[in-house]
Amino acid sequence: MAFPEFRARRLRDHVVFREMVAEASLSARHLVQPLFVKEDLKGRRPIETMPGQAQLGMEEMVAEAKRARDAGVRAVILFGIPREKDAVGTAATDPEGIVQQAVRRLKTDVPDLAVIVDVCLCEYTDHGHCGLLATVGGRKTVDNDATLEVLAEMAVTCAEAGADMVAPSDMMDGRVGAIRDALDAAGLVHVPILSYAAKYASSFYGPFREAAESPPQFGDRRGYQMDLRNGDEAVREAAADLEEGADILMVKPALGYGDIIRRLKEAFGVPVAAYNVSGEYAMVEAAARQGWISREAVILEILLCLRRAGADILITYWATEVALKLQSGAG
Ligand code: PBG
């Protein structure tokens, strides 16, 4: 097929035609707002490394969820920060734990908002790793299979509290299957799993670890999160998660990972989520504060590019703000 005399500007120069042929689009239905709920906190505590974001007490969390809902956001993802942490993350599986309570409050007070819970142990363990520790081959590491049971129990307690979706972010092998089996056994067959299928060991999570009070106390997460140099492995991880019962695949971080989003979308044709993480947020906010970039334009550009890469769902700290803007006709 030949296209003689292709002149790209014919469709680019007139605003109507430019809009008519634009491929990627952004609307509030794609956005998920993360919320940090902290046990015993009254009010809100700003997160220094994420200007504009805060740890929230229960009442503030409900207020923030209502704000998101009123802006047009349809779902939130919850992170709980418990009063007490221990080596085995006991607070994560407590039916009266902070995140389980938060789910119940949201389902009562903001019932039209879908509630997703991040299922992981790093906010609940005193050592800050995403699972239980063991010494294997003389090395202190995270015990994969022992962790699966705890994750499955956490998922079930959250779903029993009313969570509409669970999102395992720990990167243990076999966790999607373990969680699916446990949910099914508890009669929770209707609860979907949003798997952090391709979660990379990234330096872009730094600000989140302040927000969730979850930095590893020794070592790092490279023993379970993916090596950022690998792409084929993401496809393999995703295939395994789908076989185990994942309903949605997540790629995290988002900005440098558009190729992975695209590959998963093309390989499997299933819904894909992108997590626009804390460090990506912080970079934009910092540069904007210096007056070095045009903040709102950059935010829209990032989110639209993720949509173009193939993401159906965008988890972003800007969700409420962007939804509000879309309501008023921008975008
Ligand atoms: C929990 C979890 C993390 C993030 C989401 N879930 C932190 C980590 O893996 O260290 C990061 C989110 C962000 O940076 O915005 N395991």
- The answer to whether position 91 is within a domain reads yes
Q: What is the CATH number of the domain that holds 255?
A: 3.20.20.70
Helix axes 295-309, 278-289, angle to 10 degrees: 150
In a domain, 9, yes or no: no
Q: How far is the CA of 197 from the centre of ligand 1 (A)?
A: 13
State mean pLDDT over 100-109: 98
Within a domain: 14: no
CA of 85 to the centre of ligand 1 (A): 17
Place of tokens 């294997």: 136
Pocket test for ligand 1, best of 120, 175, 217 (most atoms within 8 A of CB): 120
C-alpha 199 – ligand 1 centre gap (Å): 9
Question: Percent of the chain, pLDDT > 70?
Answer: 99
Query: From CA 180, how far away is CA 177, in angstroms rounded?
Result: 5
In a domain, residue 262? The reply is yes
Question: What is the pLDDT confidence band of residue 330, given thresholds at 50, 70 and 90?
Answer: low
Burial 256-270 (b: 16+ CB within 10 A, else e): ebbebbbbbbeebeb
Q: What is the pLDDT of residue 200?
A: 98
Residues with CB under 6 A from ligand 1: 118, 120, 122, 130, 169, 205, 208-209, 221, 277-278
Average pLDDT over residues 237-253: 98
Nearest to 30 by CA among 330, 329, 310, 328: 310
Instruction: Give the model confidence (pLDDT) of 34-76 as tens digits.
Output: 999 999 999 999 999 999 999 999 999 999 999 999 999 999 9
Q: Is residue 18 part of a domain?
A: no
Stated pTM of the model: 0.96
> In the chain, how many domains are there?
1
Cα-based angle 203, 158, 32 (whole degrees, multiple of 5): 50
Give a yes or no: residue 19 inside a domain: no
- Asked about 107 being catalytic, the answer comes back as no
| Active-site residue, from 42, 66, 140, 252 | 252
Ligand 1: centre distance to CA 205 (Å): 6
From atom 5 of ligand 1, which residue's Cα is the shortest distance away?
Answer: 169
pLDDT at residue 317, as a whole number = 98
Give residue 189's pLDDT. Answer: 98
The mean predicted confidence, pLDDT, of the chain is 96
- Residue 137 in domain: yes
Instruction: Look up 199 and say whether it is catalytic.
Output: yes
Say whether pLDDT at 136 is over 70.
yes
- DSSP code string of 225-241: SBPTT-SHHHHHHHHHH
Q: Is residue 8 part of a domain?
A: no
Dihedral pair phi/psi, residue 63, rounded to 5°: -65, -40
- Structural domain containing residue 123: 26-328
Taking residues 168-182, report their average pLDDT. Answer: 96
The model's pLDDT over 65-74, given as tens digits with 9 standing for 90+, comes to 999 999 999 9
